[in-house]
Copies of this chain bind each other. A is one copy, B any other.
Amino acid sequence: MPIILLTDFGNKDPYVGIIKGVISKIAPQVSVLDLTHEIEPFNIDEAAFVLYQSYSYFPKGSIFLTAVDPGVGSACRRVLVKTTNYFFIGPDNGYLSMVLTREKMEHTIHLTHKSYFLKQTSSTFHGRDIFAPVAAQLAEGIDIHEFGSELYDLDIREALIPKVKKKSIQGKILSMDRFGNAITNISREFVEKGFLKSKFFLSIKNKKIQKFSDYYSQSTSKAPFLIYGSSGFLEIAVNQGSAAKVLKLKKSDLVVLRKSGKP
């Protein structure tokens, strides 16, 4: 089964390459795939969302290694989470909050058995010294319980989940893609449940967007419109342009959905 890497290390420094070196030393046959290394530095919310929209496309049994870790070297625990279908290795900082709304957690192992780490561990690069060797040895068949003992209080970030009020849903912008589409944390299922499929509009920064498209090139004007993105989340987009630029959006901007006709 492949090991999939998700980090905020960027593609400029050799850190990701070094992690692949460590893995190839222990498990030369295992394939290592990159999800992305361009998570905004220390942005756990973005990592949580990227992982959520991506993980289910990988084979069952895949091992996800996530290194987005503002607390590296501090007391933040390093954990291995086994769900029904996948393994997740990373810091205990809430990055699994969204995945665990869909995936059933079976085991959470506190990574403490140093015999599975690199011999010399630094205080600053646990991706290389702890996560990579544990992932590689897991891929080679080591039992999860070898890496440490079970724990029961994994960190979860409630703030990532949209709030349903009586006549509105309040969410936020989680991510901006390369094309300038602003992706919210409000999924299609959520909207349809909340509003019984009735019409609605979205407010952001005192602007109101009601136009809806089924695909990006359906809209022929340059006006912003709403669309369900490929992961099923509501996005704000501009055809062949950047909604982020046109509306000056940034991550964590609040959005509110309300039923049409009742502004």
A residues with CB within 8 A of B: 2, 4, 6, 8-18, 20-22, 24-25, 28, 31, 33-38, 41-42, 50, 53-54, 57-59, 62, 70-74, 122-125, 128-129, 175, 177-179, 214-218, 227-230, 240
Instruction: Select which of B13, B28, B215 is within 8 A of A124 by beta carbon.
Output: B215
Q: Copy number in this complex?
A: 3
Flag if B178 contacts A74 (CB, 8 Å). no
Flag if A215 contacts B178 (CB, 8 Å). no
Q: Residue of B at shortest CB range from A127? A: B230
Contacts of A59 in B (CB 8 A): 21, 24-25, 28
Flag if A9 contacts B178 (CB, 8 Å). yes
Q: Residue of B at shortest CB range from A58? A: B21
Q: Residue of B at shortest CB range from A28? A: B59
What are 11 A-B interface contacts by the 8 Å CB criterion? A2-B24, A13-B177, A14-B36, A14-B54, A17-B34, A28-B31, A70-B240, A73-B218, A123-B215, A125-B230, A129-B230
Q: A74–B20 Cα gap in the complex (Å)?
A: 34
Instruction: Select which of B15, B24, B216 is within 8 A of A73 by beta carbon.
Output: B216
Contacts of A21 in B (CB 8 A): 4, 33, 54, 57-59, 62
Flag if A17 contacts B31 (CB, 8 Å). no
Q: Residue of B at shortest CB range from A13? A: B177
Flag if A72 contacts B31 (CB, 8 Å). no
Flag if A123 contacts B58 (CB, 8 Å). no
Q: Which of A13, A16, A35 has its CB near the most chain B CB atoms (within 10 A)?
A: A13
| Least CB distance, A48 to chain B, in whole angstroms | 12
Q: A178–B68 Cα gap in the complex (Å)?
A: 13
**A14-B50, A230-B128 known; A72 and B38 CB under 8 Å?**
no
Q: A218–B57 Cα gap in the complex (Å)?
A: 38
| Least CB distance, A74 to chain B, in whole angstroms | 5
Instruction: Select which of B11, B18, B41, B54 is within 8 A of A17 by beta carbon.
Output: B54
Contacts of A6 in B (CB 8 A): 14
Flag if B17 contacts A35 (CB, 8 Å). yes
Q: Residue of B at shortest CB range from A239? A: B70
Contacts of A230 in B (CB 8 A): 122, 124-125, 128-129
Contacts of A13 in B (CB 8 A): 36, 38, 50, 175, 177-178
Flag if B17 contacts A178 (CB, 8 Å). no
Flag if A33 contacts B14 (CB, 8 Å). no
